[in-house]
Amino acid sequence: MRSGNLISALENHWFTENELSKLAEGFFHLRHWIQSGEFGNPVGISPTVSALFLHSSKGENQKKEVLNLCSFFFREQASSQWSNEIVFFLDCLWGELQLGRIGSQLEKINDKSSLSHSKKPEDYISSLDSNDLESLYENKTGGQNIDFLVKKLPFPLEILDPRIVRIPPGKTNELHRHAHETVFIYLQGNGHAKIDEVIVPVKPRDFVFIPRWCRHQSVNEGQEEMVFLAVADFGLTGKSFLGNYLKTARMKS
């Protein structure tokens, strides 16, 4: 049920300041409309909030429940037991929130216009040894045999997020999980990838699929550095996920 996500986001303070401000403005107007009996100017107000006002006008029970929802949002003493109708509206609010986060990307996809950013050939190519690779994340935890480095490719990507991962001989990266799905392209080194309870032997030229939210880890069992390209859809999931994304994915932020 998507409404559970919205309630969890509210209770755990996962909204951005802008999202929370817009929701607060909507519920403030909603309560005022109900108490005054007059529907104000809905410009800039969520369509779902306007629909909640119309729902509250159907009867006393509906009015009390919508007012209760307003009280719940403003952290006032209120019940969190909702009818199927309120659950429907909460689902609609969740959908509006998600659209607000990724709507601009969807518009660009359907606009069918080129997003080419340069006329220089060198701006479309990079390599393992290029100086334009950006160091993104590094962790060395001796007691757990963890030692690895992550670098980001220098392209202005919006959905894909390809990264170079390097693991020294005999070492491993963290056992972790995250919302984005990934494909690993092993370029150098031998060892295995752990995907939940499945052990997958890997060598150069292998492709490995990492599903969303599985616990996974790469282990270098060879005598040379393990290097692989991790291609993920982080540009999408990073925007749509509510909460501390890095906290779900890494041992340290």
Q: Is the pLDDT of residue 9 over 90?
A: no
Q: Is the pLDDT of residue 168 over 90?
A: yes
Q: Is the pLDDT of residue 253 over 60?
A: no
- Nearest alpha carbon to residue 86 among 167, 129, 32, 30: 30
Residues 106-159 have pLDDT tens digits of 999 999 999 999 999 999 999 998 999 999 999 999 888 999 999 999 999 999
Determine how many CB atoms are found less than 10 A away from the CB of residue 157: 14
**pLDDT of the residue at 223:** 96
Give the residue-averaged pLDDT of 46-68: 95
**pLDDT of the residue at 1:** 45
Residues 195-235 have pLDDT tens digits of 999 999 999 999 999 999 999 999 999 999 999 999 999 99
pLDDT band for position 3 (50/70/90)? low
Enumerate long-range contacts of 158-161, CB under 8 Å, 24 or more apart. 158/105, 158/108, 158/115, 158/235, 159/105, 159/233, 159/235, 159/236, 160/231, 160/232, 160/233, 160/234, 160/235, 161/231, 161/232, 161/233, 161/234, 161/235, 161/238
Domains contained in the chain, CATH given: 2-111 (no CATH), 121-249 (2.60.120.10)
Give the residue-averaged pLDDT of 36-56: 88
Asked if 186 and 205 touch (Cβ cutoff 8 Å), the reply is yes
